Amino acid sequence: MTTPARASALFGRVLCAMVTPFTETGDLDLDGAQVLAERLVAEGCDGLVLSGTTGESPTTTDDEKAALVRAVREAVGARVSIVAGVGTSDTRHTVELALAAERAGADGLLVVTPYYSRPPQEAVEAHFLEIADASALPLVLYDIPGRTGTRIEPATMLRLAGHPRIVGVKDCSYDLLGVQKVLARTELAYYAGCDEQVLALYAVGGAGCVSTVANVVPRQFRAILDAFDAGSTAEAARLQQRAIPLIESMMAAGLPGTVTAKGLLGRLRLPSGPVRPPLRPADGGTVDGLLSDYLEVTGQE
């Protein structure tokens, strides 16, 4: 079977957008983060993305972000990649966070498009280039216009791909055509940031996924990509489809993925803790439904 050309997955194939555990009083739970990170690695994750959207980056401090990287690095050692989310709406602040993540032991940086100010494409490009020039770490660009209000347009992506430290993209653009145009002309490693698109993007040459749902079912997402790599495309499709009820209830039922992931992790007695305001916890009925979908996906009905 002929497989599509695939860019080198510098950070691995299956990355989890890890929640940031807090104590019941709302403080950073570094012990819990280490326990959760260890479980995710044991269950098949090649890398961990810290302080992304799912990691509640808008409501954690700079010091907490750096401490989280150090704690997780201590727990997992060099076994897996750690990609630190450092993106903000302020270029100068983002550079500061990038350098702090580098000092803390991150392997790479996840940098979201500047939000709220909605900069034009030339300003978006300049923002990413300044961060890439400031740090020695490789960058994964985070394209999520539904949250930021600004797309990284394919033409901009093609230009950014020329920088030696811009190596990948976490894609939440919902533009599979645009993604394929960039894949065909660059060596950028594209990671599906939308869990329902994991197999679709991988099948056209993506590098893997950065998954929120993998917080609770990491083994299932690894199995999808393993099946595809083994040439069992029908099995890969079956596994992707089997995960859809849980993906929908966690990611498309009206609550942020952080809220649903933490609610389900808590029910499974895994480190999570509360979300920070303005987010609010999922109610008991919602978590009951999440648990039902989880048990179905994992074959524990």
In one-letter notation, the amino acid at residue 218 is P
Q: Distance (Å, rounded) from C-alpha 152 to C-alpha 174?
A: 12
Distances (CA, A) of 2 to 10, 188, 230: 22, 21, 11
Neighbours of 156 (CB within 10 A): 20
Burial label for 267, CB within 10 Å (0-12, 13-18, 19+), is middle
Q: What are phi and psi of 75, to 5 degrees?
A: -75, -45
Of 65, 142, 190, 294, which one is the catalytic site residue? 142
202: annotated active-site residue: no
Burial degree of 284 (CB within 10 A; 0-12, 13-18, 19+): exposed
Residue at token pair 């389900």: 264
Instruction: List the structure tokens of 222.
Output: 């690894």
Q: How many CB atoms lie within 10 A of CB 127?
A: 20
Q: What region, left, alpha or beta, does residue 205 occupy, with left being phi > 0 and alpha being psi -120 to 50 degrees?
A: left
Q: Which of 65, 115, 116, 170 is catalytic?
A: 170
Q: Does 170 participate in catalysis according to the annotation?
A: yes
User: Helical H runs in the chain?
Assistant: 30-42, 62-76, 91-104, 121-134, 145-148, 154-160, 176-185, 198-203, 218-229, 233-251, 257-267, 284-297
Host H or E run for residue 108: strand 108-112
Active-site amino acid positions: 142, 170
